[in-house]
Structure 1
Amino acid sequence: MTLPASAEPRRNLTEHIYQRLKQDIFDFRLLPGDRITENVIAEQMSASRTPVREALMRLQREGFVEVFYRSGWQIRPFDFQQFEQLYDVRVILEMAAVSRLCELQPTTELEALQAIWLVPIEERQSHGPSVCQLDEHFHLDLVRACGNPELARIHHDLTERLRIVRRIDFTRDNRIEATYREHAEILHSITQRRADQAQLLIRTHIEESKAEVRKITLHMLFEARQHQDDSRRLA
């Protein structure tokens, strides 16, 4: 069905507002519990309330915001029990993926990952948000490389839901260093076709991240936002 001429610009504007709000949530400019209104967002985005409402409804379906019909919208507070459940599913998916990779011939995806993670210390990234993005792609690429599109789709959706808490894990230098070391060990075990070791390493690696989530407090969220602001000023 062909959209009316006026529908396409509105859809693009809705997508723009959706992406902006989602990034504000991920960058902790909007914290869990913050209240927002359609009128204020519309003014900030130089838009009408209709595309703003459409963007917020999409974020609501994805679990990032919730609506209070008499008092606007709220950034959804963290549900730590749900995060732990998502991490448990992630362990299962990635263990299956690395086991399958140990049975396959080396792929270009694995070679590309080795070029990023198997580097001398002086060539490593140290910027937290950049390492966080590289880490996310490491796990997405591992799952994609095993050749199961449905597994990759489910894993991608799960990654989207966990992204906000995983970013806090990369505000400290020791976690960045540990990520490089653990990723290198996982890649070595895959290239050596040691499936049991690869599964143990990926499980331990994810469990470490899961443990960090348990330590998150509101104070840490404010610190993370400050860290993001400082990094942006230095960039």
Structure 2
Amino acid sequence: MKEAKITTKSSDNLSELVYQRIKNDIFDFKLMPGERFTESEVAKAYEVSRTPIRQALYRLQQEGYVDVSFRSGWQIRPLNFRYYEELYDVRIVLEKDSIRKLCQIDHHNSVELSVLKDLWLVEPDAYLKDIKQLSQQDEDFHCALVRASGNNEMARIHRDLSERIRIIRRLDFSKDYRVEATYQEHQKILGFIFERQTEQAINAIEAHIMQSRDEVKKITLQMLDSSQFY
């Protein structure tokens, strides 16, 4: 585990900073799926005491990112494809319902759709090249679609779901062809929404999510086979 000192002016938010840092390291695969470690190792790497480390780890355990064993200590939870496929199934249900609603609203009054139009209906030379930034913008695209549908509770559930998927979702853009494909698929989805072609929009969002899911699974299996996770 590489050193990554955490500094803060207040001890009150130290645990939160540690929590965010560990979670980001998991999402960025600096802490690998299946990797084992102790609280002391993390405390030394981050140059903080064990108390905020322990608080952050128990919080991450509740959220399903790490496991703990009395004998072997802490472990980054190994990737479980069945778990992620179930999350993707729920995501499809939420986004299809949101798309159906979006095809019925007044698009001129939707700030969310206006922003998405400016970000995604662009020429190829304006496509984002930074993978991490693009991955976040892709997640924001889907969250914005759900928010724009007007159901705040659905948006909250979808936001939590998106965060759980994020750890593997970022891999979708590790292949160059997925960048162009994602822009084209998002443009098609938005086009159907603006034209109020409900069934076409629903079919497009489902196909888009399933394609992303399958690509991520394929890439992850390739990384596992080449021992890049262990």
Aligned twin of 1:46? 47
Aligned twin of 2:119? 116
What SS is found at the alignment partner of 1:112?
helix
Report how far residue 127 of structure 1 moved.
1.8
Structure 2 gaps, min length 5:
1-8
Alignment of 1:11-90 (within 5 A): 11-90=12-91
Report how far residue 223 of structure 1 moved.
9.4
What's the % identity of the aligned pairs?
48
2:159 is equivalent to residue 127 of structure 1: no
**Higher RCO structure, 1 or 2 (CA under 8 Å, sep 6+):** 1
Instruction: State the distance in 2 between where 1:224 and 1:131 align.
Output: 23
Deviations 1:193-220 (A, max 9, x none): 1111110000000010111233122626
Instruction: State the distance in 1 between where 2:225 and 2:70 align.
Output: 27
> What TM-score, normalized to structure 2?
0.90
Aligned twin of 1:149? 152
Q: Identify the range of structure 1 (215-224 vs 33-42) with the bigger mean alpha-carbon deviation.
A: 215-224
Instruction: State the distance in 1 between where 2:11 and 2:130 align.
Output: 36
* Counterpart residue type for residue 64 of structure 2: G
Structure 1 residues 65, 123: CA separation in 2 closer, same or farther (over 3 Å shift)?
Answer: same
Instruction: State the distance in 2 between where 1:67 and 1:132 align.
Output: 30
2:105 is equivalent to residue 101 of structure 1: no
Given the alignment, which residue of 201, 208, 211 partners 2:211? Answer: 208
What SS is found at the alignment partner of 2:129?
coil
Report how far residue 142 of structure 1 moved.
0.6
- Tell whether the 8 Å contact from 1:98 to 1:199 is kept in structure 2 after alignment: yes
Instruction: State the distance in 2 between where 1:70 and 1:60 align.
Output: 16
Instruction: State the distance in 2 between where 1:224 and 1:168 align.
Output: 13
Report how far residue 43 of structure 1 moved.
1.7
Deviations 1:149-173 (A, max 9, x none): 0000000110011001100111111
> Matched residue pairs, number?
218
Q: What is the alpha-carbon root mean square deviation over aligned residues?
A: 1.9
- Tell whether the 8 Å contact from 1:37 to 1:72 is kept in structure 2 after alignment: yes
Report how far residue 224 of structure 1 moved.
8.3
Structure 1 gaps, min length 5:
1-7, 226-235
Moved over 3 A (4+): 8-11, 220-225
